[in-house]
Amino acid sequence: MKLVFEHSSPGARAGRIPIPPELSVPAVPDELRRRRPPRLPELPEVELVRHFTKLTTRNFGIDTGFYPLGSCTMKYNPRVNERVAALPGFRDLHPHQDEDGAQGALELMHDLQEMLAEITGLYAVSLQPAAGSQGELTGLMLMRAYFADRGESEQRRTVIVADTAHGTNPASVTMAGYELRKVATDARGNIDLDDLRGKVDDSTAGLMLTNPSTLGLFDEHIEEISRIFHDVGALLYYDGANLNAVCGISRPGDMGFDIVHINLHKTFSQPHGGGGPGGGPIAVREHLEPYLPVPAVVREGDRFHLDYDRPKSIGKVRAFTGPFGVFVRSYAFILGWGAELRTMSEDAVLNANYLLARLKDAYDLPFDRLCMHEFVLSARNLKKEHGITALDVAKRLMDYDFHPPTIYFPLIVPEALMIEPTETETKGTLDAFVDAMLAIAREAADEPETLKTAPHGRPVARLDEVKAAKRAIVRYRFEDHPDLTAEPTAPAQVEAPKGA
Amino acid sequence: MTYATLTDADRSAMLEAIGLSSIDELFRDIPSGVRFDRPLALDDPLTEQEIVGRLEELAARNVHAGEELSFVGAGVYDHYVPAVVDYILQRGEFLTAYTPYQPELSQGVLQAIFEYQTVICELTGMDVSNASGYDGTTVAADACYIAKHATGRSKIVLAETISPQVRQVVRTYAPGFGMEVVDVPHRDGVVDPEEFRAAAEGAACAIFQQPNFFGCLEAAPQLAAAANDAGALSVAHVDPISLGVLEAPGAYGCAIAIGEGQSAGNPLSFGGPHYGFIAAREEYTRRMPGRIVGETTDVHGKRGYVLTLQTREQHIRREKATSNITTNQTLLALGGLIYLCWLGPEGLQEVGETCMALAEHAKERLELPLLFPEQTTFKEFGVRVGRQAQEAIKDARAQGVNPGYPLGRDYPGMDDAILVAVTERRTVDDVELLAEALAE
């Protein structure tokens, strides 16, 4: 379909703003004034709406259908959350409004902090980080500040990460100025304790761990792991990407973790927005509270207050107090479940185990245990017998109107299919997905070509990603479309262009 | 209201299929020592109606921009957001999708991001933009990380006229990057290019803001040249709303342009979520952080879009990645795209000129000493109120006018100064009310 720039018609326009006729525009110094207007598209509003509406018809969201993308927790996003986030008292509130004029917002944040402290089993919460990966980096900055305060900056150089970890973990380690050490996974899908013991010593700053892991397995030795780190004075960081498995069932703080990030866009239903926004609050033990980002939202009697007076704070990791609109949605979501939040995680785990039980004969199961909220199958049996890959299975699932699972991750499982149904799917949907997966396994034997050419009937067929990376065309090339290089009309103050 | 979708009959049938007899058995791999053995101390579940009631009650305790006449800016601005933005962003196919890992099901978001990248490149005069950063502060840290690897140097130069929040975030990130920060003070509200040049010697990057935090126009071309001459990456932090009027950073030689996108298409929302943008010259393409969408073709030769240049990213390159970012601010960036398309080139220029005209009018009408009378300003300016700014703001608010941001919070010697922001949402009559409120 056309790009929005290809709908452009010189002189057409959608929006207008009121222009006070009695005022003149002050002069901008010549060397600072824009010479050539930006080539924004020119089109009437109806064409704009049709363009973007057509784009939405070429996209798939949770509202469209089942979206079992592993480790992403693609649960239903309640519509009421959108209604409350749009209340003018939230949507139109300026972040520099003084505290008297923002008591409702501050109370909401304070309440949410307390809820998250209870759910994680930790003492203090900062809502500031913008997403999970920023929560990770913030957590590692807290480690740095904590060890610096203890005079151990030079000594504590390494952070240990499991080989099943999300790529964000090792990337965050580097950005925080630490050295990475990787630890292996054992035959049951737990951290290999022998490997771990050989890598932890008094140069260790901490561990980053997802539990349940990206294999969807709860580490059976978590208490021993916690002892190994705490015995050398190191800290444990919990990657909360998989928190949806354990709310009200097992708390990271009780597992021994000192710092936790929470993905509000996963467990707590902030819509994923095609790739964000997210929210990545962090929760910590009491002795780490002084290092949390400023400002802290604190309660003083009946009033709520932003506290900047935290001399040991790492500082700010983003603007203001964090992605407030995300907080409103997640707060509303938690109010809905309330004290029954455990049922959310129970159903998420039940749904995953049900799918696992029904699929494990048709696909390889690298770790044959009960799973938590997600599980990892391998298509290596289909590859070996019929030349069908995890990618082929994923593409064929689209023909059955399902979004594919996460594929080729975690990296330690070949031909990985990582499936997370979440709690918001009905048994009927799960059964239909099983039927599709079983049909695809049969098709792998009977009509492999159908899988290799999938998907069918989508706006595009399989795309050439190598060509995309090689050509690196990352913006519209106006110059390749001569009929569109005409300069847009603009008021007289703009000079003629100096070339397209 | 709980959002459970299973019935008890479903649960029984599913447990049977698994070969278990109770829900508790699902959790047998969790060691007993770490199982949580009491109910969560949360309130009883609320119905939807009750949730709305509770949130309305909290919202009512905030004073929002529609309830008082607001001239508060200082990084986040009350520009008009058209209805089409809200409408498109609320469509579930965009709202409830995630990162477009599977392009055949995600052409809508992928093409929209490609269009967003194009619009950001057009505004800034750059060659490559990513799909967005978290906000206008974190993209400054991103630029520093690019500069560190591009130059092998470790010094960051920050103009003191950059938003204090941006400077604070860069300072938080810098130690992990192994970098140190040097500030260049302002002279009468702007940075002196010669001082900037001296500071930029041996630096990885030198960052300035245009228009700057005080609303003043910097000698941006000279600042960029000063950084470039010193072998540092010149980085301009710009307001997208200004770029129909002010020159694009790419046109005066900047290596990287960054900024806070909120003013173009996002509501205030108490400071977030908004979007940060980062765009660079082509030579830095493979050092860019985060998601980038590229054009390609499918097996039948049809044009399509995919996530591209992914060997930069954390899920492939892991500890050697150009950034740890994954989830970004796509939906807010799409709001920016729709808004800028709604305005078009003429509309964008008109918004910028209208803000400038109203702000200039306000400067004249206020009859208060300007903080930096020698400088040209865009949509914001500082005034001295002759007493503690906090008190003047309090008194004005009692009359229903919020006159601006107290600069003494961030800058010594400015306890009597207020930073006044005037967007196209204010009128000539509003300016009269502001003048009255500050005159008393």
* Greatest extent of chain A over all pairs of C-alpha atoms, in Å: 79
Question: Could you tell me the two tokens for A156?
Answer: 């504590």
Rounded to an integer, what distance in angstroms lies between the CA atom of residue B432 and that of residue B365? 7
How far from A252 is each of A117, A204, A238, B431, CA to CA, in Å?
A: 10, 20, 7, 54
Q: Distance from A485 to chain B by nearest Cα, in Å?
A: 13
- Inter-residue contact A219 to A190 (CB < 8 Å): yes
DSSP code, position B135? S
pLDDT value at position A482? 54
Q: B399 in contact with A at a CB cutoff of 8 Å?
A: no
B98, A25: Cβ pair inside 8 Å? no
Rounded to an integer, what distance in angstroms lies between the CA atom of residue B155 and that of residue B385? 38
Q: Which residues pair with A158 in a beta bridge?
A: A179, A204
Q: B301 in contact with A at a CB cutoff of 8 Å?
A: no
Contacts of B67 in chain A (CB under 8 A): 88
**Which of A52, A97, A98 has the CB atom closest to B88's CB atom?**
A52
Rounded to an integer, what distance in angstroms lies between the CA atom of residue A125 and that of residue A110? 9
B302, A25: Cβ pair inside 8 Å? no
Q: Per residue in A398-408, is it b (16+ CB within 10 Å) or e — as a string? A: bbbebbbbbbb
Q: Chain B residue closest to A52 (CA)?
A: B88
Contacts of B154 in chain A (CB under 8 A): none
Report which of B126, B150, B370, B324 is spatially closest to residue B238, judged by C-alpha positions: B126
**Which of B169, B308, B334 has the CB atom closest to A316's CB atom?**
B169
**Residues 6 or more apart from B76 whose CB is under 8 A from it?**
A94, A95, A96, A319, A320, B260, B262, B263, B268, B271, B274
Q: Is B432 helix (H, G, I), strand (E, B) or coil?
A: helix
Q: B38 in contact with A at a CB cutoff of 8 Å?
A: no
**Which of B2, B46, B137 has the CB atom closest to A318's CB atom?**
B137
pLDDT value at position A491? 40
Rounded to an integer, what distance in angstroms lies between the CA atom of residue B164 and that of residue A418? 43
B99, A274: Cβ pair inside 8 Å? yes
Radius of gyration of chain B, Cα coordinates, nearest whole angstrom? 25
DSSP code, position B152? -
- Inter-residue contact B266 to A91 (CB < 8 Å): no
Report which of A80, A433, A425, A41 is spatially closest to residue B338, judged by C-alpha positions: A41
Tens of pLDDT along chain A (500 residues) come to 999 999 999 999 999 999 999 999 999 999 999 999 999 999 999 999 999 999 999 999 999 999 999 999 999 999 999 999 999 999 999 999 999 999 999 999 999 999 999 999 999 999 999 999 999 999 999 999 999 999 999 999 999 999 999 999 999 999 999 999 999 999 999 999 999 999 999 999 999 999 999 999 999 999 999 999 999 999 999 999 999 999 999 999 999 999 999 999 999 999 999 999 999 999 999 999 999 999 999 999 999 999 999 999 999 999 999 999 999 999 999 999 999 999 999 999 999 999 999 999 999 999 999 999 999 999 999 999 999 999 999 999 999 999 999 999 999 999 999 999 999 999 999 999 999 999 999 999 999 999 999 999 999 999 999 999 999 999 999 988 655 444 444 443 333 333 44
- Whether cis (ω within 30° of 0) applies to the bond prior to A421 is no
Mutation target for A interface from B26, B38, B40, B300: give the one with most A CBs within 10 A: B40
- Inter-residue contact A235 to B47 (CB < 8 Å): no
Q: B365 in contact with A at a CB cutoff of 8 Å?
A: no
**Which of A218, A277, A476 has the CB atom closest to B118's CB atom?**
A476
* Greatest extent of chain B over all pairs of C-alpha atoms, in Å: 81
- Whether cis (ω within 30° of 0) applies to the bond prior to B175 is no
Q: Chain A residue closest to B82 (CA)?
A: A15
pLDDT value at position A490? 43
- Whether cis (ω within 30° of 0) applies to the bond prior to A277 is yes
Using CA atoms of B194, B195, B200, B205 in order, give the dihedral in degrees to the nearest 10: -100
Rounded to an integer, what distance in angstroms lies between the CA atom of residue A140 and that of residue A136? 6
DSSP code, position B44? P
Q: What is the pLDDT of residues B352-406, one digit of tens each?
A: 999 999 999 999 999 999 999 999 999 999 999 999 999 999 999 999 999 999 9
Rounded to an integer, what distance in angstroms lies between the CA atom of residue A381 and that of residue A366? 11
The whole-angstrom distance between residue B378's C-alpha and the CA centroid of its chain comes to 19
How far from B316 is each of A465, B132, B177, CA to CA, in Å?
A: 14, 19, 21
Q: Distance from A384 to chain B by nearest Cα, in Å?
A: 24
A346, B23: Cβ pair inside 8 Å? yes
Rounded to an integer, what distance in angstroms lies between the CA atom of residue A486 and that of residue A476? 15
Q: Distance from A387 to chain B by nearest Cα, in Å?
A: 19
How far from A79 is each of A75, B51, B59, CA to CA, in Å?
A: 12, 12, 18
A40, B165: Cβ pair inside 8 Å? no
Q: Chain B residue closest to A272 (CA)?
A: B98
A101, B350: Cβ pair inside 8 Å? no
The whole-angstrom distance between residue A263's C-alpha and the CA centroid of its chain comes to 7
Q: Which residues of chain B have pLDDT under 50?
A: none
B43, A102: Cβ pair inside 8 Å? no
- Inter-residue contact B374 to B188 (CB < 8 Å): yes
CB pairs under 8 A between A and B: 713
Q: Chain B residue closest to A163 (CA)?
A: B318
Rounded to an integer, what distance in angstroms lies between the CA atom of residue A320 and that of residue B201? 32
Contacts of B23 in chain A (CB under 8 A): 346, 350
Q: Residue B394, Cβ neighbours under 10 Å: how many?
A: 12
Give the helix/strand (H/E) hosting B200.
helix B193-200
Rounded to an integer, what distance in angstroms lies between the CA atom of residue B135 and that of residue A276? 12
A17, B5: Cβ pair inside 8 Å? no
Q: What is the pLDDT of residues A461-490, one digit of tens each?
A: 999 999 999 999 999 999 886 554 444 444
- Inter-residue contact B77 to B269 (CB < 8 Å): no
- What is the DSSP code string of B330-388? HHHHHHHHHHHHHHHHHHHHHHHHHHHHHHHHHHHHH-S-BSSTTS-BSSEEEEE-SS-
Here the ipTM equals: 0.98
